[in-house]
């Protein structure tokens, strides 16, 4: 009888752990989300030749705000929920019928965002000369003919998907939802 009771106890222990809501809430509470906000001022058009000729910045945003949102507003925030930003990336998608894409633009960031707080970077570039010096954008340079070799157009229209990555001080990876922005690149 004692062996049967011990066996039943051993068989029911895993289910007791699964039925315990407190345990689930303990691991899920304390979560944070990462959001990227560019405000309302994003460039709609950029001339590739003007940027290369002036050694300027192709796509620069006046201010980018990275915000840490506490997933459960009723939970007590702790320092382990603070987010250490690691990087942000911009990937490209053609919307003009072309298929060639510039390489992704990845920037390392070193900043800590307190849980429920935010961090702003002014004059942040969303593209570098690496994207300009590679097809398809390099096709628009006058020295290379001034038109996209794939579509024959003198402009390239693309969506830029912008996303940030980080890690909480507690070790959990976080990333923002990709934010799309459509731009037209001209000669």
**What does each of the 187 residues of the chain score in pLDDT, given as a tens digit?**
555 544 444 444 444 443 333 322 233 335 899 999 987 777 889 899 887 766 655 678 888 999 999 998 888 888 999 999 999 999 999 999 999 999 999 999 999 999 999 999 998 888 888 888 889 999 999 999 999 999 999 999 999 999 999 999 999 999 999 999 999 999 9
Q: Which helix (H) or strand (E) is 181 found in, with range?
A: strand 179-186
Q: Is residue 52 part of a domain?
A: yes
**Distance (Å, rounded) from C-alpha 172 to C-alpha 177?**
16
Burial of 147 (0-12, 13-18, 19+ CB in 10 A): middle
The reported pTM is 0.75
Q: Is residue 3 part of a domain?
A: no
Q: Label residues 90-117 b or e (16+ Cβ within 10 Å = b).
A: bbbebeeebebbbeebeeebeeebebee
Q: Is residue 25 part of a domain?
A: no
Q: Is residue 77 part of a domain?
A: yes
Domain carrying residue 86: 30-186
Q: Is residue 49 part of a domain?
A: yes
Instruction: Determine contact, residues 96/156, Cβ cutoff 8 Å.
Output: yes
* Count of structural domains within the chain: 1
Q: Is residue 8 part of a domain?
A: no
Name the phi and psi angles at 98, rounded to 5. -80, 165
Q: Name which of 31, 27, 24 is nearest 70 in CA terms.
A: 31
* C-alpha torsion 93→94→99→101, nearest 10: -60
Q: Is residue 21 part of a domain?
A: no
Q: Is residue 110 part of a domain?
A: yes
CA quadruple 59, 45, 38, 33: dihedral positive or negative? negative
């Amino acid at each position: 009888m004692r062996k049967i009771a011990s066996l039943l106890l051993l068989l029911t222990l895993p289910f007791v752990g699964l039925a315990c809501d407190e345990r689930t809430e303990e691991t899920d509470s304390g979560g944070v989300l990462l959001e990227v906000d560019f405000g309302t001022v994003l460039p709609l058009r950029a001339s590739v030749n003007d940027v290369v000729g002036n050694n300027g910045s192709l796509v620069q945003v006046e201010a980018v705000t990275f915000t840490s949102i506490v997933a459960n507003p009723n939970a007590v925030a702790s320092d382990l929920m603070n987010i250490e930003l690691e990087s942000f990336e911009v990937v490209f998608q053609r919307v003009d019928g072309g298929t060639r894409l510039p390489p992704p633009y990845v920037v390392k960031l070193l900043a800590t965002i307190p849980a429920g707080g935010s961090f702003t970077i002014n004059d942040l570039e969303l593209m570098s000369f690496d994207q300009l010096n590679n097809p398809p954008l390099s096709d628009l340079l006058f020295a290379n003919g001034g038109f996209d070799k794939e579509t024959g157009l003198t402009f390239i229209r693309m969506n830029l998907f912008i996303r940030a990555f980080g890690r909480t001080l507690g070790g959990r990876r976080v990333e923002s939802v990709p934010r799309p922005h459509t731009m037209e690149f001209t000669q």
